[in-house]
Amino acid sequence: MKKTSGKKIIFVVIKYAVVLLITISMVVPFIWMLSASFKTNLEVFEFPIRWIAETTLENYTNVWDVANYPRMFLNTVKLTVIITVLQILTSTLAAYAFSKIYFPERNVLFLTYLATLMVPYQVVMIPQFSIIRQMGLTNTHLALIMIQAFTPMGVFLIKQFFE
Amino acid sequence: MDRSKRLGKTALCDHTESETGYVLRDDYVHHQFFPGIHPNLCNDKRRTGKSSQCVLVLKIYEDAFVNYKFGYASAEAMILFLLILIVTLIQFYHNKKMEA
């Protein structure tokens, strides 16, 4: 029988410890949220956190009764569906042109388009907001749809698929 | 020049009673500068005057960090999690069926 050396065992222990640590750091906020959802507002900030408080279902009944929950969810679904359909449409059209049709400076144009991926969103955010405000589209779904209807990432992926 | 005219359409400004006079209703940027004034996009039907255009995640954010109802927002987030779980499971089931 092969004997595992001490070095190997230590390595495995360290590996599992790191994995466990990462797992805990991801799961704890979720459990925190779960426990907070059963608490009253005062209990949320108690200092040694009691993970299991005296459960009140008040929050959940409030969500059901007070909040406009189905309406909000419908808004979310509406936006996701419309944006996804538009993105697929625009991405496939652009990707087809970039991969099958030869026109002058095609690659340069494609690279410039891809370069917009490298601009962090925080840079664009405030100009984007003021443009949308000047168009009078704040507080509308159209603004969200128009901003997200085009994506360089999608064009890139589908272009790779076409080639 | 009148401030409301300078800012564009009247829909952009809200004439509410506050020390600063006019309040831009539509931006969270404003909320950053004047934390006392809450824009409340989702929960204030009286001021926005139309049926809510708000998205679920924005509402959860607003309930938690603007209205400070943490327990309530957590409950909302849990329900959102369950809804997304259901959608994901349906998608998994559908994908498996397509493969077979």
DSSP string computed for A128-147: HHHHHHHTT-TTSHHHHHHH
Shortest Cα distance, chain B CAs vs residue A42, angstroms: 9
Residue of B nearest to A40 (CA): B71
Retrieve residue A15's tokens: 């590996």
Q: At what angle do helices B70-99 and A69-100 cross, to 10 degrees?
A: 50
Contact across the interface for B78 and A34, Cβ inside 8 Å: yes
Q: Considering all CA atoms of chain B, what is the largest pairwise distance in Å, rounded to the nearest integer?
A: 69
Strand partners, B13: B24
Give exposure, B38-55, as e/b (b: 16+ Cβ within 10 Å).
bbbbbbeeeebeeebbbb
Q: Compare CB distances from B72 to A59, A136, A144 and report the shortest one's residue.
A: A59
Whole-number Å distance between alpha carbons of A156 and A133: 30
Instruction: Give yes or no for B44 touching A (CB within 8 A).
Output: no
Model pLDDT, residue A17 = 96
What type of residue is A131?
A: I
Model pLDDT, residue B50 = 55
Count the neighbouring beta carbons within 10 Å of the beta carbon of residue B5: 10
Residues of chain A with Cβ-Cβ distance to B26 below 8 Å are 133, 138-139
What type of residue is A85?
A: V
Provide the 3-class DSSP secondary structure of residue B24: strand
Model pLDDT, residue B15 = 39
Whole-number Å distance between alpha carbons of A30 and A28: 5
A contact test, residue of B44, B51, B56 with most A CBs within 10 A = B56
Low-confidence ranges of chain B (pLDDT < 70): 1-52
Model pLDDT, residue B40 = 64
- Cβ B32 vs Cβ B3: under 8 Å: no
pLDDT in tens, chain A (163 residues): 566 788 899 999 999 999 999 999 999 999 988 888 888 877 877 777 777 777 778 888 888 777 678 888 888 899 999 999 999 999 999 999 999 888 888 999 999 999 988 999 899 989 998 998 898 887 788 888 999 999 999 999 999 998 8
Residues of chain A with Cβ-Cβ distance to B14 below 8 Å are none
Instruction: Give yes or no for A133 touching B (CB within 8 A).
Output: yes
Model pLDDT, residue A80 = 92
Contact across the interface for B75 and A68, Cβ inside 8 Å: no
Whole-number Å distance between alpha carbons of B45 and B40: 9
Whole-number Å distance between alpha carbons of A94 and A98: 6
Contact across the interface for B55 and A69, Cβ inside 8 Å: no
Alpha-helical regions (H) of B1-100: 3-6, 28-33, 45-48, 56-65, 70-99
Quick: pLDDT tens for B28-41: 554 555 555 555 66
Retrieve residue A7's tokens: 């070095």
Give ipTM to 2 decimals.
0.73
Name, in order, each residue with C-beta under 8 angstroms of A44's C-beta and a sequence gap of 6 or more. A36, B70, B71, B74
